[in-house]
Amino acid sequence: MTTDPFALFDTWYAEARQSEPNDSNAMALATVDAAGQPSVRMVLLKGHGPGGFVFYTNRESRKAGELAAVPKAALLFHWKSLRRQIRIEGAVSLVTDAESDAYFATRHRDSQLGAWASDQSRPLDARETFEARFEEMKVRFEGGDVPRPPHWGGYRVTPSVIEFWHDRAHRLHERRLFTRTGTGWSEGLLYP
């Protein structure tokens, strides 16, 4: 048993990377808008450690607008094959431009072009419109690197709470709750 939630996350995440057939780094991201309306969607974890959990997106998207209005979020990893989940809640901040640039450079070229072509979360009149914009970006950046769009970048969720849930027989599950206390963490159990 560890009292370090990040070490425990690393262990569970490594096991998930071995057992989950698709997207072991997929996590539900829950946000709320200024009026209190919640919203949830799947995003991909692209970095993690004691500083927090990082994902990338269009900063003009619905989720980005919600995070600008209320810079707090909840994350949920659910690894069905392991019968485990991890819940994370915390404050949200932007990652640096250097971090966003570095990650963007690792993306597949088509994903880079798609970031330029998409007005994420806005109405689209027809799929053909998006495909035409994608083709325009291919021509625009032909023969060179695709730079990161200024409206695209990363977010870091700095956890204040991390809960590890492990399925047990007869719904007698195990729930370990880590709560940030200043520079450290306190640990406790929750009833299933």
Residues with catalytic roles: 171
90, 51 contact by CB (below 8 A): no
Rounded CA separation 80/125 (Å): 37
Rounded CA separation 14/177 (Å): 20
Q: How far is CA 34 from CA 12, 71, 90, 121, in A?
A: 34, 10, 17, 17
- For residue 175, how far is the Cα from the chain centroid? 22
